[in-house]
């Protein structure tokens, strides 16, 4: 299959690499050249402009934010897409951005599906992501062979591409809530003279043994915030996406309001490029712990 891949950050590079390993013909585009050159050494073709990655059977994209996806997937680009091409947006973006992309793709006869992913860069490199997808079933069927190369499971929803992105936004809301909860519990233990690492070991091997608790309890208790797999800046963005979705749907999200304020405080203290588990540093300061 001829696949275009747009966006070669920490997630996209691993995903594109797995498509190459599976034997697909992959054309990559990225704003900065270095990640594309690294994949070219593994057999990828490099597109000098986004249109070059829209000339095959399908295109996958995982760009940074609303501004990036809306600026790249413009009318000018979509009007140049190959006939029959289907595009899956795999980035975490707003509901409004997904609706705008869907309308633009429909206008130009380009297939579109929402297919955001759950997983950190190590999961992307290992082909162990979880994909949540919604859109026209025929479009999803065409995308599925590529999804199978980059994910351990694809979770199918309805025909509206927005649905998958609501699930992604809500899922990230849950992850940031886990980080907040762990940060407070670990701060309490440390202030009371209990080894936070021992507390994390007990909890994550008993009543909180899910992977999200295991991974973030380790990062927080060991204060391993660099290199960032997912930064505080990105956490702030996702908190904003959840609040925007809440406003549109009439859903109050008071916990997200609190967490967003903590992200802002962490960024103001210079932690914006650290992993979003560094939110625990904000909680530690508030609980009078020294950093």
* Residues annotated catalytic, as ranges: 168
Task: With beta carbons less than 8 A apart as the criterion, state whether 130 and 152 touch.
Answer: yes
Q: What is the dihedral of CA 195, 196, 202, 207, to 10 degrees?
A: 150
23 SS3 class? coil
Give the whole-angstrom CA distance, residue 99 versus residue 93: 10
Residue at token pair 């951005």 = 97
251: tokens are 């859903």
204: tokens are 């994550």
Q: For 98, how many CA atoms within 13 A lie in the half-sphere containing its CB?
A: 28
Instruction: List, in order, residues 6 or more apart from 110 with CB less than 8 Å away.
Output: 78, 81, 85, 86, 87
Give the whole-angstrom CA distance, residue 290 versus residue 130: 38
Closest-CA residue to 64 (of 14, 6, 118): 6
Give the whole-angstrom CA distance, residue 111 versus residue 180: 39
Give the whole-angstrom CA distance, residue 51 versus residue 76: 9
Task: With beta carbons less than 8 A apart as the criterion, state whether 54 and 83 touch.
Answer: no
Segment holding 152, helix H or strand E:
strand 151-156
Give the whole-angstrom CA distance, residue 252 versus residue 184: 22
- DSSP string over 56-105: SSEEEE--SSHHHHHHHS-HHHHTTSPTT-EEEE-S---HHHHHHHHHHH
């Amino acid at each position: 299959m001829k696949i275009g891949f747009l966006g070669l950050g920490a997630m996209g590079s691993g995903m594109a690499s797995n498509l190459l390993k599976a034997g697909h013909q992959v054309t990559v585009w990225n704003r900065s050249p270095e990640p594309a050159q690294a994949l070219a050494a593994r057999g990828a073709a490099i597109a000098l402009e986004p249109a070059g990655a829209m000339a095959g059977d399908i295109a996958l994209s995982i760009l940074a934010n609303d501004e990036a996806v809306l600026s790249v997937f413009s009318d000018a680009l979509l009007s140049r897409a190959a006939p029959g091409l289907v595009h899956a947006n795999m980035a975490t973006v707003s509901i409004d951005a997904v609706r705008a992309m869907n309308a633009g793709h429909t206008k130009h006869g380009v297939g579109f599906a929402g297919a955001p992913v759950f997983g950190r860069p190590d999961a992307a490199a290992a082909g162990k992501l979880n994909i949540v997808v919604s859109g026209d079933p025929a479009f999803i069927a065409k995308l599925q062979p590529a999804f199978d190369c980059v994910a351990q499971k694809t979770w199918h929803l309805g025909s509206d591409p927005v649905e998958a992105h609501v699930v992604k936004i809500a899922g990230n809301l849950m992850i940031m809530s886990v980080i907040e909860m762990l940060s407070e519990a670990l701060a309490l233990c440390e202030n009371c003279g209990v080894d936070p690492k021992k507390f994390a070991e007990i909890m994550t091997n008993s009543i909180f043994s899910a992977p999200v608790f295991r991974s973030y309890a380790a990062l927080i208790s060991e204060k391993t915030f660099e290199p960032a797999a997912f930064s505080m800046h990105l956490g702030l963005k996702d908190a904003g996406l959840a609040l925007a979705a809440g406003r549109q749907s009439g859903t109050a999200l008071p916990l997200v309001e609190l967490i967003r304020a903590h992200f802002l405080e962490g960024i103001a203290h210079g932690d914006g490029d650290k992993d979003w588990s560094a939110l625990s540093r904000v909680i530690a300061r508030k609980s009078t712990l020294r950093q």
